[in-house]
Amino acid sequence: MQRDPRAFLWDVQQAAEAITAFTAGLDVLDYRASPLIRSAVERQFEIIGEALNRLSKEAPDLADRVPNLRKIVSFRNLLIHGYAVVDDGRVWEIVTTMLPSLRATVTALLTDLGPPDV
């Protein structure tokens, strides 16, 4: 049985909200200084990338509505496969400049489409 494609968007939304909560009140120096926060943020980005990768395979028309989807999936791949060369400054930049837009897009899509079937 195929998963409701909206569930992938919900996973993205939940992971983005977690990243936002994990990094609230921090700056890049705080982020770099905390292996716990870095690990938590990277894990949530992995979830975002995997959810969007699956969405692109199961509901390509819906996936096309998510800007930069391929870049997001590539970032997930870098975090998993290129773990030894992850640039904390780049991750922080994505948290602060790109994540808010992704969050807004996914929230708007879920508002438009309704919540996933459980």
Task: Report yes or no: 65 and 109 within 8 Å, Cβ to Cβ.
Answer: yes
pLDDT of residue 34: 98
pLDDT of residue 83: 84
Sign of CA dihedral 52, 82, 16, 43: positive
- The number of CA neighbours under 13 Å toward the Cβ of 31 is 24
pLDDT of residue 2: 84
Which parts of the chain register pLDDT below 50?
Answer: none
- Angle at alpha carbon of residue 12, lines to 9 and 14, rounded to 5°: 110
pLDDT of residue 118: 61
pLDDT of residue 1: 67
